[in-house]
Structures are given as structure tokens and as C-alpha cells.
Amino acid sequence: MSDTRDGAPEDAAVDGGHDPASSTHTVRLELVDEPGQLLAALQPIANNGGNLLSIYHERGNKTPRGRIPVEVDFEATAERFEAIVEALREDGITVMQAGTERYAEEITLLLFGHLIDTDLSDTLSRIEASASTSVADVSLAAPQGTEESSSARLRLEARSGESAAAIAAVRDIAEEKDLRVVAPLAGVDA
């Protein structure tokens, strides 16, 4: 999706029309199929000065995880756009694509071992800190309490072409903490 759909701009910063500093942005979100989710996703856009243009809500077209893809177009300055994407993420909304920055590759993997004793939140923030990865979703199962082995399912978003690097980064962190990784088969639609 291009952020210059209003015509070929002479200057990338001045292509919006209404406000000389604004331009049109598209964010692609994945929403949980629950009432109020769409409104919750639009609020951070409005609250941070985004001017909503259109919403494409693909209600009948769920992702394999049962989420609903939504595409939102809005006008905002570059600075406000950054703040909007940040606010969306802070609210726990899955941003699949923001402007030209595209988290094209989604990776689901499992971790097991002493996840809680080895500080799961530290594990996750270190995965986040690795250059190309964002942690979109975490599910934890610790049926035996914190003493025994537990499991987590992580959904990561990596930039295009960087899935292998993202998995390698997770492996390094896991190895250090004596955790095991069940990685997906890379490049295989298994």
C-alpha cells in the first residue's frame, strides 16, 4: 500500500492536499473478533490527530487465527503517524503493516522449559530488542505452576526476508536460558 495515493507528489512531505504537512497513511490491523474492537482500534488514531479517511473491514475474511483484518486510511503528519502506530501497539492492537514499514512475515513458534523461573518478560523484551522482530502475541501455559516446565506460543512479526534472523535471535536467547524452541519450518507451507 502506498502512502502517496493522492497523486504523484513533487515533494514527499506535501502530498496530502488539506494540510500541507499531512499525508495519507494506511495501517493494516488484525482485530480480535469481539464487540468494540474496531472502535478501540480507531480511538488511538483519532486521539493522536489522525484524520480518518476510510475503513475497510474484512469481516468475512478471517485470518487462520480467527482475527479480522482491517485496513484504515487516515491523514496525519509524519510525526503524528509515528505516534499513532506507537499508540496502537501500546493498546495491544496488532499492526501488520504501517505505511511503508511492513511487518510482512508472521512467525509462530513455541518455547518450553522453565519459562517463568527464567523471567518470561525479560525473554520477551530481549526478543523485542533484537533488531527485526516485534512480539505480537503471547500465550502461556503453565499447568504445573512455576516449578515445572511450562510452554509459550509466540507470534512474532518480522520485516520481510528477516524471519530466519528473527528465529535465530530467539534461539540464542533461549539457549542462554536453557529453554527449547519449536520453530516453524522456514519457507515450507507445512
Partner 1 sequence: MRLAVIGAGAVGRSVVELADEYGHEVVAVADSSSAVVADAETGSGVDAEVVVTRKAEAGVVGDDDPEDALAADYDALVEATPTTLGDAEPGFSHVRTALERDRHAVLANKGPVAERYGDLQALVADNAGGVRFEATVGGAIPAVSTVEDIEPGHVTAVRGVLNGTANFILTRMAAEGLDYEHVLAEAQDLGVAEADPSFDVDGTDAALKCVILANVLSFGAADDPADAREFTLADADVEGIRDIPGSTLRLAAEDGRTVRLIGEATGETVRVAPRLVHENGTLAVSGTQNIVQIETSHAGRLNISGRGAGGPETASAVLGDVGRLG
Using the rule CB under 8 A, give the single segment among 27-35, 40-48, 89-97, 143-151 that binds partner 1.
143-151
**What's the Cα-to-Cα distance from 158 to each of 26, 103, 171, rounded to whole Å?**
19, 5, 15
Q: Does 8 bind partner 1 (CB under 8 A)?
A: no
CA distance 25 to 98: 8
Residue from 57, 126, 153, 177 touching partner 1 (CB under 8 A): that is 153
Residue from 32, 142, 164, 165 touching partner 1 (CB under 8 A): that is 142
CA–CA–CA angle 45, 46, 52 (5° rounding):
80
Q: Judging by DSSP bridges, how do beta strands 180-182 and 105-113 pair with one another?
A: antiparallel
Asked if 91 and 156 count as a contact pair (C-beta separation under 8 A), the reply is no
CB 166 to partner 1: min, Å? 14
Residue from 9, 78, 112, 126 touching partner 1 (CB under 8 A): that is 112
CB 76 to partner 1: min, Å? 34
CB neighbour class for 148 (10 Å; exposed up to 12, middle 13-18, buried from 19): exposed
Q: Does 139 bind partner 1 (CB under 8 A)?
A: yes
Q: Does 49 bind partner 1 (CB under 8 A)?
A: no
Q: Which residues bind partner 1 (CB under 8 A)?
A: 64-65, 108-110, 112-113, 139, 141-143, 148-153, 180, 182-185, 188-190
